[in-house]
Amino acid sequence: MDPKVKQALDITLHNWQTMTSYQSDEKEAVADQFQSSFYVFIDTIREWVLRQDPMPQTLDDLLGNEMIQDIFDVLPAPLHLNLETELELMIDGVEREDEDKYD
């Protein structure tokens, strides 16, 4: 796995675990931290995708990539649809603005 993607994935997974087990008044702050790390992770995947030669042309091409499959294997199931949506946007050449990421 690409080292930058792995590092971003590890941080995201850690923050997910923290968020899902947190039981205090600071849960919103923990959720914000997770959300921020998730979009850093997505940006890291985007950078990796753009470096591919040839770049995947379809979502199926990207979903068939070994590294992407490895990510889905360790990513919590509730995040699968979010990741797939972001991958589809990458293939379509759509990049979200920061304010769109957090709405």
**pTM above 0.85?**
yes
pLDDT digits (tens, 9 = 90+) for 37-91: 999 999 999 999 999 999 999 999 999 999 999 999 999 999 999 999 999 999 9
Query: Distance between CA 27 and CA 63 in Å, rounded?
Result: 32
Residue with the bigger pLDDT between 71 and 26: it is 71
Find all residues with CB under 8 Å of 18, minimum gap 6, and list them: 30, 33, 34
- Residue 102's pLDDT band (boundaries 50, 70, 90)? very low
